[in-house]
Amino acid sequence: MIVLITGASHTGKTVLAQRLLEKYKYPYFSIDHLKMGLIRSGNTELTPMDDNELTEYLWPIVREMVKTAIENKQNLIVEGCYIPFDWQKDFDANYLESIKYYCLVMSEEYIRNHFADIKKYANIIENRLDYEWCTMESVLEDNAEILKLAKVHNVNYILIDDKYEINIDL
């Protein structure tokens, strides 16, 4: 089983991946680690702020890792912002039956009522060195855009609205 977890920044993708690892013992892979490895090693001129270009650059690599895991009958959780909304087009039916996809999105109401918690839990799994750019306005804008794209592409999304509870059974 492959589990793809994507969504807006600060929605808890890494925390969810960690919880699934603890519950199911499936390893997880953070696309951010691949991104930073490629950037820091000089294998790309892209920067951490080049979101759209990073998706185009990273997805072909991640996609083939997913296919390899499926072919080897390995379980894997892949989490990160760099999974395109049309990801399904890259897999035939045999692969698709082994993939579960979740897009995490926070509602405007949730963000407005819980922004202090969003900032507080930003480092629960990762030690983010710099997240001063994370403002209520940026989080609202990012989540609104992700929700719009999730609806346009008719993908499976989890709306975090009243309280932060995500329960996924694999």
Residue with tokens 């926070």: 106
Predicted confidence at residue 126, as pLDDT, reads 53
Contacts 24+ apart (CB under 8 A), 158-162: 158/102, 158/103, 158/104, 158/105, 159/105, 159/106, 159/107, 160/11, 160/12, 160/104, 160/105, 160/106, 160/107, 160/110, 161/106, 161/107, 161/109, 161/110, 162/110
Q: For position 122, what pLDDT does the model report?
A: 64
Per residue of the chain (170 residues), give pLDDT as tens. Answer: 999 999 998 899 999 999 999 999 999 999 999 999 999 999 999 998 898 899 999 999 999 999 999 999 999 999 999 999 999 999 999 999 999 999 999 999 999 998 888 877 766 555 555 556 678 898 999 999 999 999 999 999 999 998 888 889 88
Q: How many CA atoms lie within 13 A of 139 on its CB side?
A: 27
Instruction: Give the residues across from 2 on adjacent strands.
Output: 76, 99
